[in-house]
Amino acid sequence: MIKFAFVLADGSRQEVEGRDGDTVMQVAYDNGIEGVAAECGGSMSCGTCHVFLDQATFDRIGAPTENEIDMLDLVPSDRHATSRLSCQIRIDAAFAGADVNVPESQF
């Protein structure tokens, strides 16, 4: 299991574990993380699973694809240099210890 944390808009942290290959969105869903709406179920068509990563993790896992960038252009919450769609992040050993920040609102 790979351990990382969700940091909610109020500053609280929720430590979670996921399996190699899970998406961050699925781990959020499995752990009842508020603020990751994921209305499209992970098909990269809504942007409501927007999160932003700590810089070190973003650097380790790489940048979003062009399609993901296009969808991130549509998210209503503030976008950061380390913004990603949680449905597009597959966790692996490089994700261990990550901080996944959840925006105040996805709408």
Q: What are the E-state strand segments in 1-107? A: 2-7, 13-18, 50-53, 83-85, 99-101
Does the structure show a pLDDT above 70 at 107? Answer: no
pTM: 0.92
Residue range 2-101 forms a domain whose CATH class is alpha beta
C-alpha 41/C-alpha 43 separation (Å) is 6
Tens digit of each residue's pLDDT (9 = 90 or more) over 49-61: 999 999 999 999 9
**pLDDT value for 77:** 78
Does the structure show a pLDDT above 70 at 32? Answer: yes
Q: Per-residue confidence at 63, pLDDT binned at 50, 70, 90?
A: confident
